[in-house]
Chains A and B, each alone.
Chain A
Amino acid sequence: MLFQQITNGLTIGMIYALIALGYTMVYGILKIVNFAHGDIYMIGSFLGLFFLKELQVPLFVAFIFSAVVTALLGITIERAAYRPLRKADRIVPLISALGVSTFLISVAQLIWGTEMRPFPTSFGSKTYVVGSVTISEIQILILVLSCLLMVGLHLFVKKTKIGTAMRATSINLTNAALLGINTNRMISLAFAIGSALAACAGIMVGIYYNAVYPTMGYMAGINAFTAAVLGGIGSIPGAMLGGVLLGLVEALAGAYISTQYKSVISFAILIIVLLIRPSGILGKKEINKV
């Protein structure tokens, strides 16, 4: 049972990690929490469903299409709702994000209805038995694809020129601009990548649970945000670690302590971690500017 629970926890943890990356990348640069990110993930999932069902494209094409459209949506949201507020107090974009979140949920309800919708793909229901662990095809896809995406992102940020520019922007926005980096473009890029990853997570969750619905971003968003903070918000490896840890904690706490209290336990762990390390596990210590 232990290994089965670990497998379950890892699967959901990977999803949290993918979504958490969106929070962390935006936070790394703009220092704002994009509370609409969970709903971007929901839209990504619905778009995947749309491409699969209405346009009948193969699964991997649906991933790409949905990621691209969702990335554009992310950029648009930043332009419309956050850019005008860049000079305002940090709490102000947060409220604006909540407005965007409400807006996106209603749009999804108007277009796709309020019901839960199944994902029309036969992929993923096959299961394999390895020792005492039963693992399904879709779980394998989630584990593999998430790892690939995260490694890819890591290489992109560390090894490419644009990645370096992004890191420079996240270290200091003004200085980066002085060095000739188009910081607005970097911000758009952060939103685009975060949204695209969320769209991939959305489609995989859609297949995993065979269900997509307009309010799915709410809990996923809170959990992913928790994961990002746990790992140290602003840190990309931190988001990955935080996501996986949170998934494991939820599964094991649910298995050995209590399923009702599993969110209580994960929040309690978050609080304890933050009290010991106020900037999360891999987060950089905030330097007090004098």
Chain B
Amino acid sequence: MKRQLKQLSIGLIAILLIGILGACSNNSGSSNSDTIRIGLAAPISGTQAQYGTAFKNGAELAAAQINEAGGIDGKQVEIVIEDDKGDSNEAVNVANKFVSDKSILGVVGHFNSSATLATAPVYNKNKIVQISPSSSAPAVTNAGEYTYRVITTDAFQADYLATWSQELGYKKVALIYEQSDFGIGLLDVYKQSAPGNNIEVTATEAYNPGEKDFSTVLTKIKTTEPDAIFIGGFYNEAALIAQQAQKLGMDVEFIGVDSLYSEALLELGQQSVEDFKIIGFFYPGGSNEKATEFAEQYQTKYNSKPDTYAAYSYVATSLIIDAIKENGTDREGIKTFLDQVKDYEGATGVLSFDENGDVITVPTKLKVANGEFVNFE
């Protein structure tokens, strides 16, 4: 027993030391007051790392722009990036790290709706603003008064798409959706809105996130002979679906929401994604000058074209920066700014927030022509 006790106590000492060490290191980190610090929580590693990279690039571009212009009242803006791995366990760790660092004024994140929902109680209890660039699940609406998002809900987009489907003359539509909060949200609303638009939903097939083989699903769908397939997922999977459909000799159109807007869709899908019809909020080269300007600067800085998520992250970060400009370095001031902001011109369109922190904005109809996104006429 003695030996066990000794071991136990050594272990406990180790834990204590680590705890105290951590506390000290954390203390010293936050004493620097020459910079304005904004948190960014994103999946930097793990299966969703590509979206994390987009988040990081978008946010850092926003910070770089303000810093080149001399910062806010002479103070430089610093983006503090933390990896949540797209996992709600890790996300809560990150959230706790942010809220306990008093120098962090606001947080951009998280990517997944589940991570946003898991962390919302932490941010709200500590009264720090969280703007999610991408969590579109309806449940985020009621996540708390400090939780905002710059992406519209799945419900809004799916309903909009159902109306558009009718305009396009589709009678039979099949759905392939991701088995995630995002995909299921799209499915539910689209299925609900379809009868009102004279659309028959011929098949609904789910896939688990990370799936790469869609030949089974597509072979099933092929027998139902739809006019179009609505892909309720992300651009990577959409490109794979289009290619595999082509390899199966399917002649069908594809529609989707803003999650498909990415250069990667064109690169991965090549000729198979030609004539894709999607709803977009971020569209450079159109009437939105902010979007065009952002895309150009992004291209110069990273030598690649931004996708939807980079744009959303840029907008979310810019909102926080503008809030600090307006109301000073105060956590509460950011919330005041967001509640009052009206018709904010951002790279993803003109936006305002409703009383639940959900964004109000107008989508654009886009399609793919000659390997590029163009306005749908």
Q: Given A109-B45, A215-B49, check contact A8 B219 (CB 8 Å).
A: yes
A127 close to B243 (CB less than 8 A): no
Q: Which residues of B contact A27 (CB under 8 A)?
A: none
Q: Is B35 an interface residue (CB 8 A)?
A: no
Select which of B47, B239, B247 is within 8 A of A215 by beta carbon.
B47
In whole angstroms, what is the CA distance A5 to B248 when docked?
11
Select which of A114, A129, A138, A209 is within 8 A of B249 by beta carbon.
A129
In whole angstroms, what is the CA distance A118 to B213 when docked?
15
Q: Whole-angstrom distance from the CB of A126 to the nearest CB of chain B?
A: 9
A259 close to B53 (CB less than 8 A): no
In whole angstroms, what is the CA distance A218 to B45 when docked?
13
B52 close to A114 (CB less than 8 A): yes
Q: Is B179 an interface residue (CB 8 A)?
A: yes
A211 close to B268 (CB less than 8 A): yes
Report B227-273 residues with CB < 8 Å from chain A CB.
236, 239-240, 243-244, 246-249, 264, 267-268, 270
Q: Quick check: which of A159-167, A180-188, A247-255 contacts chain B, the rest being far away?
A: A247-255
Closest to B49 in A: A114
Q: Which residues of A contact B267 (CB under 8 A)?
A: 118
Q: Which residues of B contact A4 (CB under 8 A)?
A: 219, 248
Q: Which residues of B contact A213 (CB under 8 A)?
A: 50, 236
B179 close to A114 (CB less than 8 A): no
Q: Is A279 an interface residue (CB 8 A)?
A: no
Q: Which residues of A contact B47 (CB under 8 A)?
A: 215, 218
A115 close to B50 (CB less than 8 A): yes
In whole angstroms, what is the CA distance A269 to B247 when docked?
30
Q: Which residues of B contact A262 (CB under 8 A)?
A: 216
In whole angstroms, what is the CA distance A9 to B215 when docked?
9
Q: Is A214 an interface residue (CB 8 A)?
A: yes
Report B165-218 residues with CB < 8 Å from chain A CB.
179, 205-208, 210, 212-213, 215-217
Q: Is A260 an interface residue (CB 8 A)?
A: yes
Q: Given A125-B246, A210-B243, check contact A215 B46 (CB 8 Å).
A: yes
In whole angstroms, what is the CA distance A156 to B303 when docked?
48
Q: Whole-angstrom distance from the CB of A38 to the nearest CB of chain B?
A: 13
B217 close to A254 (CB less than 8 A): yes
Report A48-89 residues with CB < 8 Å from chain B CB.
none
Select which of B50, B216, B243, B264 is within 8 A of A259 by beta carbon.
B216
In whole angstroms, what is the CA distance A65 to B50 when docked?
28
Most buried by B among A105, A117, A127, A134: A134
Q: Whole-angstrom distance from the CB of B24 to the nearest CB of chain A?
A: 28
Q: Which residues of A contact B216 (CB under 8 A)?
A: 5, 8-9, 250-251, 254-255, 259, 262
Secondary structure of the B side of the interface? helix
A260 close to B179 (CB less than 8 A): yes
Closest to B43 in A: A114
Q: Is A263 an interface residue (CB 8 A)?
A: yes
Q: Given A115-B264, A118-B267, check contact A259 B210 (CB 8 Å).
A: no
In whole angstroms, what is the CA distance A4 to B217 when docked?
11
Q: Given A118-B268, A211-B212, check contact A260 B206 (CB 8 Å).
A: yes
Q: Is A219 an interface residue (CB 8 A)?
A: yes
Q: Is B102 an interface residue (CB 8 A)?
A: no
Q: Is A95 an interface residue (CB 8 A)?
A: no
Q: Is B75 an interface residue (CB 8 A)?
A: no
Q: Which residues of A contact B248 (CB under 8 A)?
A: 4, 127, 134
Q: Whole-angstrom distance from the CB of B276 to the nearest CB of chain A?
A: 16
Q: Is A116 an interface residue (CB 8 A)?
A: yes
Q: Which residues of B contact A218 (CB under 8 A)?
A: 47, 210
In whole angstroms, what is the CA distance A213 to B240 when docked?
13
Q: Is A42 an interface residue (CB 8 A)?
A: no
Most buried by B among A4, A9, A125, A129: A4
Q: Is A136 an interface residue (CB 8 A)?
A: yes
Interface string of B52-82 (1 = CB under 8 A from A): 1100000000000000000000000000000
Known: A8-B219, A129-B249, A259-B207. 20 other contacts (CB 8 A): A1-B220, A1-B223, A5-B219, A105-B45, A114-B49, A114-B50, A114-B52, A116-B239, A125-B247, A127-B246, A211-B212, A213-B236, A214-B49, A215-B46, A254-B220, A255-B219, A259-B217, A260-B179, A260-B207, A262-B216
Residues of B within 8 A of A (CB): 45-47, 49-50, 52-53, 179, 205-208, 210, 212-213, 215-217, 219-220, 222-223, 236, 239-240, 243-244, 246-249, 264, 267-268, 270
Closest 10 CB pairs of A and B: A114-B49, A254-B216, A8-B215, A134-B249, A136-B247, A115-B50, A114-B50, A215-B47, A114-B53, A4-B219
Q: What are 8 A-B residue pairs whose CB atoms fall within 8 Å in the complex?
A: A1-B219, A106-B45, A113-B50, A113-B53, A118-B267, A118-B268, A250-B216, A259-B206
